[in-house]
Structure 1
Amino acid sequence: MREETPKIPQATSKRLPLYYRFLQNIANSGKKRVSSSELSEVMKIDAATIRRDFSHFGALGRKGYGYDVHYLVDFFRKTLDEDAETDVALIGVGSLGNAFLKYNFQKNHNTRIVVAFDPKASIDGTEMSGIPAFHPDTLQEKIKELKIEHVILTVPSRIAQDVTDQLVQAGVKGILNFAPVRLSVPETVRVHTIDLSVELQTLIYFIKNDVKQSHL
């Protein structure tokens, strides 16, 4: 009988890249082993949360010893599939999209923006920050041609759903959405929406709430 892979909570999954990044830094410092309390101190995440997150993947450490740093780095690299290169398309090269192009992700891991789409680009292609960019009229054709499955969406809200429909038809499996609108997609497509205004409001709320709590 086939053993089912345990379902990892979404909150834990979101923290995995953070664990990988901090553990890489710890490994680069020459440290051989680390405890959950030490990780908690540098990451500002409760030690109990770290131990609970790690427990979803089995016995990653030993009581009284802690965690082997190089083993964890290797484990999370494989878990996050960091050995495989992932090509990403950027849809919309406005202020935010242009910032993504200039940053690009390959500097930090194996995810890279390889193509962009924007109305300012030509049908035949225009170079933007060293990345080939094309007019949206070529969107589906190019996405299929390049076998792109992951995109970053930074378009105005009014056209976000129409663009998403085209991406779904082109075979895209994952969308990182920066348009402040809820997108409708099939169950086979995953959307992560980052609304910067909501994130800022949340930050302000927590800061004000922390101040109130400190005066109680």
Structure 2
Amino acid sequence: MKDYNKKKIPRATAKRLPLYLRNLTILDTKGVARIKSKELSDITQVPSATIRRDFSYLGELGRSGYGYDVAFLIEVFSHILDSNEESRIAIVGFGNLGKALANNNFRRNENLIISCVFDTNPEIIGKTIAGFYVYSMADFKQIAQEKNIRIAISTVPSEHAQEAIDIVVNSGITAILNFAPDRVEVPDNISMRYIDLTTELLTLLFFDHNYKKTPLAVTS
């Protein structure tokens, strides 16, 4: 596999690569061997010109008139996204959302593994719930290092998110997914992504109202 210079891939393009990979994987399971940018555009809701530009940063991935080989694209994007490498995940906040994420446990990618969960509620700390032992946030750094955690997912409400994220950052973890929409302060070396369910729902309604003729792919 070609050694791609990941730092030269624009951020906007990098954000779309998981979307491409997810939909291409679905197509592969359905027996689709090749696809053109227009067809992929219909599925992902990303303009075909943008898809071709994104792919151009990675070299010659397809051929004019033929399109793209689905299996080859999956191999390329999996390599770039390191999706074939095991990544251990910690969930911070084991309420309803935390439990839902833990129960899903990223079945679409067996290399994304939820290894431990944390909370501050004394009523559940030290108990095994939904198959997960609930650790105290006071022990986050020790447990995260013992279990080689690479990613933290925070489901802590906005009013307590900064305190929780500070603990995660102090443990040495630099990749954080935050389900609280309000921004928190983190050092420049931290890769932070936010998921705002309200924004996602409003976006979904917009597409549902205005793009009825085009099939939508699930993107998050």
Measured at CA, do residues 164 and 50 of structure 1 come closer, stay the same or move farther in structure 2, by a change above 3 Å?
same
Larger RCO of the pair (alpha carbons < 8 Å, separation 6+) = 2
Partner of 1:108: 108
Using the TM superposition, give the Cα deviation of residue 16 of structure 1 relative to its aligned residue in structure 2, in angstroms: 1.0
Q: Deviations over 1:65-110 (max 9, x none)?
A: 21122211111111111211110000001121111111111x1102
Partner of 1:70: 71
Q: 4+ residue runs of structure 1 moved beyond 3 angstroms? A: 3-6, 198-208
Structure 1 residues without counterparts, runs of 5 or longer: 212-216
The residue type paired with residue 114 of structure 1 is: S
Partner of 2:124: 121
The residue type paired with residue 170 of structure 2 is: Q
Count, aligned residues: 205
* Root mean square deviation of aligned Cα: 2.3
Q: Does 1:94 align with 2:80?
A: no
Name the SS for the 1:84 alignment partner. coil
Measured at CA, do residues 207 and 38 of structure 1 come closer, stay the same or move farther in structure 2, by a change above 3 Å?
closer
- Counterpart CA distance in 2 for 1:112 and 1:70 is 24
Measured at CA, do residues 206 and 21 of structure 1 come closer, stay the same or move farther in structure 2, by a change above 3 Å?
closer
Q: Does 1:186 align with 2:215?
A: no
| Larger-Rg structure | 1
Using the TM superposition, give the Cα deviation of residue 27 of structure 1 relative to its aligned residue in structure 2, in angstroms: 2.3
Q: Is the 8 A contact 1:92 1:117 kept in 2?
A: yes
Measured at CA, do residues 55 and 6 of structure 1 come closer, stay the same or move farther in structure 2, by a change above 3 Å?
farther
The residue type paired with residue 124 of structure 2 is: A
Q: Is the 8 A contact 2:6 2:80 kept in 1?
A: no
- What is the TM-score normalised by the length of structure 1? 0.85
Q: Identity, % of aligned pairs?
A: 41
Name the SS for the 2:68 alignment partner. strand
Q: Deviations over 1:5-30 (max 9, x none)?
A: 55323232122112112212222333
- Counterpart CA distance in 2 for 1:181 and 1:126 is 30
Name the SS for the 1:57 alignment partner. coil
Q: Is the 8 A contact 2:115 2:147 kept in 1?
A: no
Q: Deviations over 1:182-206 (max 9, x none)?
A: 1111111111111223333455567
- Counterpart CA distance in 2 for 1:52 and 1:91 is 37
Q: Does 1:21 align with 2:22?
A: yes
Name the SS for the 2:128 alignment partner. strand
- Counterpart CA distance in 1 for 2:35 and 2:194 is 34
Partner of 1:151: 152
Measured at CA, do residues 6 and 63 of structure 1 come closer, stay the same or move farther in structure 2, by a change above 3 Å?
farther
